[in-house]
Structure 1
Amino acid sequence: MKRFSLIASLGAMSVVLAACQTGGPAGGGVPVVNRTPAGIEGSWIDANGITSSFNGGVFETRTTDTNEKLAEGSYRYQSPQLVEIDMRSLVRGTVSRVNCALVSPSQLNCTSSTGAHFSLNRRA
C-alpha cells in the first residue's frame, strides 16, 4: 500500500510540474509589450513642421512637404536624458553642436551652440 501511495504521489507531482513548465505567461499567454519609446530614437517634429529623425546614432532633418534633407549628423547620449548632436546644415553649409534634454518621452528641449532654443515633439 505504501508503494502505491508513493507512486500516486510521484505521478501527481509530475503532472503539477509539467503544468508549471508549459503554462506560459500569466494572463492567457499574451505577452506584455512595452510601447514607450526608448530614448530619442524615432521621428520628431518642431514648431515649424521640420522633421528630425534619430536612428542608431545618425541624425537627419527634412522638410515635411518635399522630404528634402536640410541637415545631417550624429548624436550621442551624455546621460539617459541628455543628448549631444553634431550636425551639418546642408542649407547654410555650417557645422554646429546642439545639446538636448529629454524632458518627457514626447518632448525634447534643445539649445544650439549659438544659444538658440527650440523644442521637438515625438511624432506618433
Structure 2
Amino acid sequence: MKRFRIIGSTAIVSLALAGCVATGPGGGGNVPVVNRAPSGIDGAWVDPNGIVSSFNGGIFETRSTDTNEKLAEGNYRYQSPQLVEIDMRSIVRGTSSRVNCALVAQNQLNCTSSAGSRFSLTRRG
C-alpha cells in the first residue's frame, strides 16, 4: 500500500509538471499567439508636421524627420495609466516647459503645454 502511495504521488507530480512544459514555437503547441496592443506611451509618435517624438523608459526625445536632429529632450512620468507629465527642454528654443498628455486611444495622445498650446500625437506604426 505504501508503494502505491509513492507511485501515485509521483504520477500526480509528473502530470502537474507536464502541464507546465511548453512545446513548439511560441511555447504553446497549437495555442495561437496573440499580438497585444501596445500599452502605455513607450514607442514612437508623430505630430501633424511629421516631427517624431519617442518615449522610452522615462526618457523623451523629439527629432526632425529629415535630418534626425534632436529638437527637444526630457523625462516623462505617469500620473495615471492614461495621463503622462513631460518635463521637456527645447534645444532649438533654449526653453523648458511641462507638457501634460492624455492617452485618449491606443494610437492618440492629446497634449497641452504649460503655456496652454494644444497638440496631438499619433502612434507611429
TM-score of the pair, normalised by structure 1 = 0.80
Residue type of the partner of 2:11?
V
Distance of aligned partners of 1:54 and 1:27 in 2 relative to their CA distance in 1, 3 Å threshold? same
Instruction: Give 1:81 deviation, angstroms.
Output: 0.8
- Write the distance in 2 (CA, Å) between the matches of 1:64 and 1:7: 73
Find the counterpart in structure 2 of residue 91 from structure 1: 92
User: How big is the alpha-carbon RMSD for the aligned residues of Structure 1 and Structure 2?
Assistant: 2.6
- Write the distance in 2 (CA, Å) between the matches of 1:87 and 1:12: 64
**Alignment of structure 1 residues 1-124 onto 2, 5 Å:** 3=1, 7=3, 11=7, 14-24=10-20, 29-30=27-28, 35-124=36-125
**Matched residue SS, 2:20:** coil
Distance of aligned partners of 1:34 and 1:77 in 2 relative to their CA distance in 1, 3 Å threshold? same
CA deviations over 1:10-49 (Å, ceiling 9, x no partner): 6356334312212236897428666322311111111111
Residue type of the partner of 2:91?
L
TM-score of the pair, normalised by structure 2 = 0.79
CA deviations over 1:39-88 (Å, ceiling 9, x no partner): 11111111111000111211110011211111111111111111111111
Moved more, 75-84 or 32-41: 32-41
Greater Cα radius of gyration, structure 1 or 2: 1
Distance of aligned partners of 1:13 and 1:72 in 2 relative to their CA distance in 1, 3 Å threshold? same
Query: Among the aligned pairs, what percent are the same residue?
Result: 64
